[in-house]
Amino acid sequence: MTLDDVARQLPNGFQDAHLLRLAVDYIRATGTLDLDLWVGTPAGTTNAERERYRAGRVRIEGLLWCVIDPPNVAIHASKDGFRIDAGRVADLKVRPELPLVPSDAFSWWFFVTEWNAFVYVAGRAAVLEWKP
Protein backbone atom coordinates (compact mmCIF):
# COMPACT_ATOMS: atom_id res chain seq x y z
CA MET A 1 0.00 0.00 0.00
CA THR A 2 1.22 3.54 -0.78
CA LEU A 3 0.22 6.98 0.49
CA ASP A 4 -2.09 7.18 -2.54
CA ASP A 5 -3.91 4.11 -1.20
CA VAL A 6 -4.08 5.60 2.30
CA ALA A 7 -5.49 8.87 0.95
CA ARG A 8 -8.17 6.94 -0.98
CA GLN A 9 -9.27 5.29 2.29
CA LEU A 10 -10.05 8.72 3.74
CA PRO A 11 -13.24 10.56 2.73
CA ASN A 12 -11.31 13.83 2.37
CA GLY A 13 -7.80 12.50 1.77
CA PHE A 14 -5.33 14.39 3.95
CA GLN A 15 -7.12 17.71 3.40
CA ASP A 16 -7.41 19.79 6.57
CA ALA A 17 -5.89 17.07 8.74
CA HIS A 18 -3.93 18.15 11.81
CA LEU A 19 -0.36 17.01 12.39
CA LEU A 20 0.19 16.14 16.05
CA ARG A 21 3.52 14.33 15.88
CA LEU A 22 6.15 13.46 13.30
CA ALA A 23 8.81 10.85 14.06
CA VAL A 24 11.56 9.40 11.90
CA ASP A 25 13.39 6.20 12.86
CA TYR A 26 16.41 5.95 10.60
CA ILE A 27 17.53 2.58 12.01
CA ARG A 28 14.18 0.92 11.23
CA ALA A 29 13.65 3.06 8.10
CA THR A 30 10.20 4.18 9.22
CA GLY A 31 8.37 7.45 9.60
CA THR A 32 5.18 8.02 11.55
CA LEU A 33 2.71 10.85 11.42
CA ASP A 34 0.16 11.07 14.20
CA LEU A 35 -2.79 12.93 12.73
CA ASP A 36 -6.27 14.11 13.47
CA LEU A 37 -7.92 13.25 10.16
CA TRP A 38 -10.95 15.09 8.83
CA VAL A 39 -13.56 12.39 8.22
CA GLY A 40 -16.61 14.67 8.23
CA THR A 41 -18.81 15.19 5.23
CA PRO A 42 -19.26 18.67 3.76
CA ALA A 43 -22.84 17.70 2.88
CA GLY A 44 -23.64 16.89 6.53
CA THR A 45 -26.75 18.46 8.01
CA THR A 46 -25.09 19.34 11.32
CA ASN A 47 -21.81 21.01 12.16
CA ALA A 48 -20.76 17.85 14.03
CA GLU A 49 -21.25 15.78 10.85
CA ARG A 50 -19.31 18.29 8.76
CA GLU A 51 -16.42 18.84 11.19
CA ARG A 52 -15.82 15.30 12.50
CA TYR A 53 -12.18 14.30 13.06
CA ARG A 54 -10.66 10.93 13.95
CA ALA A 55 -7.21 10.19 15.38
CA GLY A 56 -4.97 8.02 13.24
CA ARG A 57 -1.37 7.17 12.56
CA VAL A 58 0.24 6.90 9.14
CA ARG A 59 3.31 4.71 9.18
CA ILE A 60 5.72 4.88 6.26
CA GLU A 61 7.83 1.76 5.90
CA GLY A 62 10.96 1.42 3.83
CA LEU A 63 11.57 5.11 4.42
CA LEU A 64 14.09 6.37 1.88
CA TRP A 65 14.29 9.97 3.06
CA CYS A 66 12.49 12.73 4.94
CA VAL A 67 13.20 16.37 4.12
CA ILE A 68 11.73 19.15 6.27
CA ASP A 69 11.76 22.75 5.11
CA PRO A 70 12.57 25.23 7.86
CA PRO A 71 9.43 26.88 9.19
CA ASN A 72 8.96 30.54 8.28
CA VAL A 73 7.86 31.32 11.84
CA ALA A 74 8.56 30.16 15.37
CA ILE A 75 6.66 26.93 16.02
CA HIS A 76 3.70 27.38 18.35
CA ALA A 77 1.29 24.46 18.21
CA SER A 78 -2.32 24.83 19.18
CA LYS A 79 -4.08 22.03 21.03
CA ASP A 80 -5.40 20.89 17.64
CA GLY A 81 -1.91 20.54 16.12
CA PHE A 82 -0.84 21.92 12.76
CA ARG A 83 -3.18 22.00 9.76
CA ILE A 84 -1.80 20.09 6.76
CA ASP A 85 -2.59 19.17 3.21
CA ALA A 86 -0.72 16.57 1.16
CA GLY A 87 -0.11 15.14 -2.26
CA ARG A 88 2.35 13.44 -4.59
CA VAL A 89 5.62 15.26 -5.26
CA ALA A 90 5.17 14.47 -8.96
CA ASP A 91 1.98 16.59 -8.98
CA LEU A 92 3.70 19.76 -7.75
CA LYS A 93 3.94 22.51 -10.38
CA VAL A 94 7.33 23.53 -9.02
CA ARG A 95 9.28 20.56 -7.70
CA PRO A 96 12.01 21.05 -5.12
CA GLU A 97 15.40 19.41 -5.47
CA LEU A 98 14.98 16.08 -3.73
CA PRO A 99 16.81 12.75 -3.87
CA LEU A 100 15.72 10.37 -6.62
CA VAL A 101 13.05 7.78 -5.85
CA PRO A 102 13.19 4.23 -7.26
CA SER A 103 10.27 3.00 -9.33
CA ASP A 104 8.99 0.78 -6.49
CA ALA A 105 8.64 3.74 -4.09
CA PHE A 106 6.55 6.89 -3.67
CA SER A 107 7.34 10.47 -2.73
CA TRP A 108 4.82 12.81 -1.12
CA TRP A 109 4.66 16.31 0.31
CA PHE A 110 2.85 17.50 3.42
CA PHE A 111 2.32 21.26 3.58
CA VAL A 112 2.15 22.57 7.16
CA THR A 113 0.05 25.72 7.01
CA GLU A 114 1.24 27.36 10.23
CA TRP A 115 4.88 26.85 9.23
CA ASN A 116 4.34 27.86 5.60
CA ALA A 117 6.70 24.96 4.89
CA PHE A 118 6.77 21.45 3.47
CA VAL A 119 7.70 18.02 4.79
CA TYR A 120 8.70 15.63 1.99
CA VAL A 121 8.88 11.87 2.43
CA ALA A 122 9.72 8.90 0.23
CA GLY A 123 9.10 5.30 1.10
CA ARG A 124 8.09 1.89 -0.17
CA ALA A 125 4.88 1.27 1.81
CA ALA A 126 2.36 3.13 3.95
CA VAL A 127 -0.17 1.94 6.51
CA LEU A 128 -3.06 3.76 8.18
CA GLU A 129 -3.82 2.76 11.75
CA TRP A 130 -6.86 4.18 13.53
CA LYS A 131 -6.44 5.12 17.18
CA PRO A 132 -9.15 4.26 19.68
* Inter-residue contact 123 to 25 (CB < 8 Å): no
Rounded CA-CA distance 84/73 in Å is 16
At residue 122, what is the residue type?
A
* Per-residue model confidence (pLDDT) at position 72: 84
**How many structural domains are present in the chain?**
1
Half-sphere exposure for 126 (CA within 13 Å, toward CB)? 23
pLDDT band at residue 44, thresholds of 50, 70 and 90? confident
Structural domain containing residue 22: 3-130
Mean pLDDT for the chain overall: 94
Rounded CA-CA distance 87/10 in Å is 13
pLDDT band at residue 94, thresholds of 50, 70 and 90? very high
4 phi/psi in degrees, rounded to 5: -60, -45
